Structure 1
Amino acid sequence: MELSPIGRAALRSREGDKLVAYLDSVGVWTIGVGITTASGLITVTKGLRITQEQSDKLLALASEKYAQPVRSAIKRPMTQEQFDAFVSICYNIGPAAFKGSTFVRRFNAGDVEGCAAAILMWNKPAEITSRRRAERDQFLSSYAKNLPKARDTDAKPVAAPAVTQVAKPAPAAPAPAPSPAATPAPATAGGLLAALLSLFIKKA
């Protein structure tokens, strides 16, 4: 599975997207969509600046980096909503913590409700709690009915990403069938005689 466009939009809303390095809530230099040096994708230091294009590329790389541990740790089929919520959590707590978590163990045992409850165990620092509840809600939801929120205290869900429609080229009109070449009528004795007679009359 891959992180869906809705899942990516929720992740971006939860992490923010800053083009200048900043200290996060626990004092770690961070840039882009929650990217730190620990990601292995970039060394983040004070004063670092990136472009929006670079931030988008880092998010794409980081999304895949944190989706892979989800694929390997989860042993049962997932809905897209469950996968997206798991990637968001893994992005935040890291692959090692994700793989060793109670909620992963419960999900693999078939206890979906117990898994949802265990997601809320990851509630430190305190300001992460509203995000974790939103991830729990995303895990239990259906995008067809409700889009996820960045935090459960938000008034509105994340905006659904626009789907770009690519117009299909119109099929080419079939080429007209070539006209059959005129086939000269075979010469006959009568026809040859008439031609000679006509030529003789013209000369007379």
Structure 2
Amino acid sequence: MNQKEFSNEGRQALTIAEGFMPRLYDDGGNGKGHCTIGYGHLVHYDPCNSQKFHSEQQFINGISVEKGISLLKKDYAFAEVAVNDLVKVSLNQNQFDALVIFIFNVGRGAFYKSTLLKKLNAGSYESVPSELRRWNRSGGKIMNGLISRREKEVVLFNKKVNK
């Protein structure tokens, strides 16, 4: 039904939400960290340890912003597909972009199982902000960064589309 594409404004919001890190870092996921680089590009699901993981070798000297953007474009494609596949109601561009940014962070599987998706597909657009705000934990702990990120997604979801 939707078959939308992530907009330039959505991509810009995602780069701000993710922030750019030119060197490998542990993102804090699940309390132990996942090895990440650039704009949230997952290198592997364990903490960074270049002695142990071959997947880190290509990033050992860091990356440029351009390489980070290139990786990001490949990385967000799954989230774009997820919104187009799973959401059965009409979305405006800002709503679509907000959900792509959200799914980029939490994953397709989590979104697929979410109350947020069930309520949205039932036509309850007004419940989306409160459902987004529920996703504020990592490793069971409330994270200020996720609270801030969800608020930005809520603002984008509720933002009127300029004609």
TM-score, length basis structure 1: 0.64
* Greater relative contact order structure (CA < 8 Å, 6+ sep): 2
> Unpaired segments of 5 or more residues in structure 2?
46-54
For 1:132, the aligned partner's letter is: R
Between structures 1 and 2, the one with greater strand share: 2
> Unpaired segments of 5 or more residues in structure 1?
146-204
User: Structure 1 residue 53: deviation in Å?
Assistant: 2.5
Which stretch shows the higher mean deviation, 25-34 or 5-14? 25-34
Aligned partner of 1:98 in structure 2 is 111
Change (3 A) 1:38 1:111: farther
User: Structure 1 residue 143: deviation in Å?
Assistant: 4.7
Aligned residues: CA RMSD: 2.1
Aligned partner of 1:28 in structure 2 is 34
- Superposition map of 1:67-82 within 5 A: 67-82=80-95
Aligned partner of 2:162 in structure 1 is 144
Aligned partner of 1:135 in structure 2 is 153
Q: Is the 8 A contact 2:120 2:128 kept in 1?
A: yes
Aligned partner of 1:192 in structure 2 is none
Distance of 2:42 and 2:159 partners within structure 1: 30
Distance of 2:56 and 2:95 partners within structure 1: 30
Distance of 1:11 and 1:52 partners within structure 2: 14
Change (3 A) 1:96 1:59: same
Identity %: 32
Distance of 1:37 and 1:10 partners within structure 2: 22
SS at 1:117 equivalent: helix
Change (3 A) 1:35 1:106: same
Aligned partner of 2:43 in structure 1 is 37
For 1:110, the aligned partner's letter is: G
SS at 1:66 equivalent: helix
Q: Deviations over 1:18-63 (max 9, x none)?
A: 2211111332111111111359xxx447835223322121111112
Aligned partner of 1:65 in structure 2 is 78
Distance of 1:136 and 1:44 partners within structure 2: 34
1:119 to 102, 113, 132: 132
SS at 1:20 equivalent: strand
